[in-house]
Structure 1
């Protein structure tokens, strides 16, 4: 894939503690296919204020935000769209003449997937995690009608705060009461040090009716592989990352692509 870069090329980027290739491959594929003069590059940082200052100062058009920056970036922005203000979590920054607005496209992606997969609203869920992405998923569950659940989090203050926000309970470890829907919103199963870690043990997965792992790379995490082996319906992080990335693309460019091109871009981005 060859991109033509000039002084007029608009830069988009991502900030993540553990950068991956999905966003770079997905966005640049669409830019090329649609002949848009944009370039996308993934970054990490140990100086978040300076990194966001660079977005403002250098005219970067947009920035995807991943763990662990989704909440920490808020104080450095000028405004929050309703999607981010409600959650107090940002996964997308859009710059307009140096004015930075935070959005959250994770939430809408999760709402859509729960509906598409037909997960019953009366399912009791256990959600593991308490960070910015966990907020998006937990609030999506709440607003989709899921009212019986538990936030499983080692960080007790954050876990209890999220549980209170969604009107459910908190526990440090999954209790003995089975959950019909298991949701992992931690790095467990992600490539790297946590690659072989299960977010929930086999007993919990065997008792569940649905398994949802937000980790996108690899698509087949240990949790998803176990769930498939036990015959459980799954929702993968790859599904989430594609839907939220499409909305980011629209925010950056103002262009909404057709489904066939998006499918090709996703297939390219997920095949490294």
Structure 2
């Protein structure tokens, strides 16, 4: 049985502009299954420096970092693990006795999904976005051996820099030519103001083979719904968030859950569709 919350309970947390429940549900379910004296809580903040100082001062064991803080936290922590330093983006902070180290488990999750789903590396791709998560996605595509791709970003400086770093091209808008792999790494389709937005138009979706949306809430965005209805292979942000959260869990606790427990936690936090896709 999981110990009751007390003075020795270790706290882990997340920082996001739009906090959700799925991460808390997944981590807390794993703590329950493994009978660990941990608790997880999501937060937002308008004082990032104060929040990071609180992690250090209060001995909070770990912190997941989401938009728009993945790059802004870097000057506030002590060290970067190679997965974060290579792409200048942090999605995980681990606190070891007051020393804060940044990691990037988004990169690991995207890489592993591309491999597990056997996505053909010969496919030309379009990645829409240039922020911290886009850096993880583009780095994972290059790591997996994708040679032909375009980074689409309205921010020309950021888009050009990201594309140049990995040997791809930049364009300010989705090109007219077709791409076999479409990846959305923008808030388009995310719960909230952009919930009904389609990240790629129907013509591009019709022409693609694989649709990958990094948006995790909802698990099925308008982009993925349209792609699924068109018979395309789809990869959801909810799958990414489960895999990256498992890697965070390992960093925080030193324990790697069994596939059965990961499936249980994914089912609890995200429902059967996401859990079964991860099991496939």
**TM above 0.5, one fold?**
yes
> Which residue does the alignment assign to 1:235?
235
- Report the alpha carbon displacement of residue 125 of structure 1 after superposing the two structures with TM: 0.3
1:153 paired to 2:150: no
> Which residue does the alignment assign to 1:197?
197
1:220 paired to 2:209: no
> Which residue does the alignment assign to 1:179?
179
> Which residue does the alignment assign to 1:106?
106
> Which residue does the alignment assign to 1:71?
71
1:133 paired to 2:172: no
> Which residue does the alignment assign to 1:45?
45
Give the Cα–Cα distance (whole angstroms) in 2 for the partners of residues 3 and 148 of structure 1: 51
- Report the alpha carbon displacement of residue 3 of structure 1 after superposing the two structures with TM: 7.1
> Which residue does the alignment assign to 2:170?
170
Assess if the C-alpha contact under 8 Å between 2:3 and 2:35 holds in 1.
no
Assess if the C-alpha contact under 8 Å between 2:55 and 2:95 holds in 1.
yes
Q: Which aligned runs of 4 or more in structure 1 are off by greater than 4 angstroms?
A: none
- Report the alpha carbon displacement of residue 147 of structure 1 after superposing the two structures with TM: 1.4
- Report the alpha carbon displacement of residue 156 of structure 1 after superposing the two structures with TM: 1.0
Aligned to 1:211, the other structure's residue is in SS state strand
State TM-score, norm by structure 1.
0.98
Give the Cα–Cα distance (whole angstroms) in 2 for the partners of residues 33 and 150 of structure 1: 42
Give the Cα–Cα distance (whole angstroms) in 2 for the partners of residues 132 and 5 of structure 1: 34
The number of equivalent residue pairs is 272
Give the Cα–Cα distance (whole angstroms) in 2 for the partners of residues 213 and 144 of structure 1: 18
Give the Cα–Cα distance (whole angstroms) in 2 for the partners of residues 261 and 147 of structure 1: 36
| Matching of residues 261-272 of structure 1 within 5 Å | 261-271=261-271
Assess if the C-alpha contact under 8 Å between 2:71 and 2:89 holds in 1.
yes
After superposition, give the CA deviation of every residue in 1:83-108 in whole Å (9 maximum; x if it has no partner). Answer: 11111100000001100000000111
State TM-score, norm by structure 2.
0.95
- Report the alpha carbon displacement of residue 207 of structure 1 after superposing the two structures with TM: 0.8
Give the Cα–Cα distance (whole angstroms) in 1 for the partners of residues 225 and 218 of structure 2: 11
> Which residue does the alignment assign to 2:33?
33
1:211 paired to 2:211: yes
CA RMSD of aligned residues (A): 1.4
- Report the alpha carbon displacement of residue 203 of structure 1 after superposing the two structures with TM: 0.5
1:87 paired to 2:92: no
Give the Cα–Cα distance (whole angstroms) in 2 for the partners of residues 131 and 250 of structure 1: 25
Assess if the C-alpha contact under 8 Å between 2:3 and 2:36 holds in 1.
no
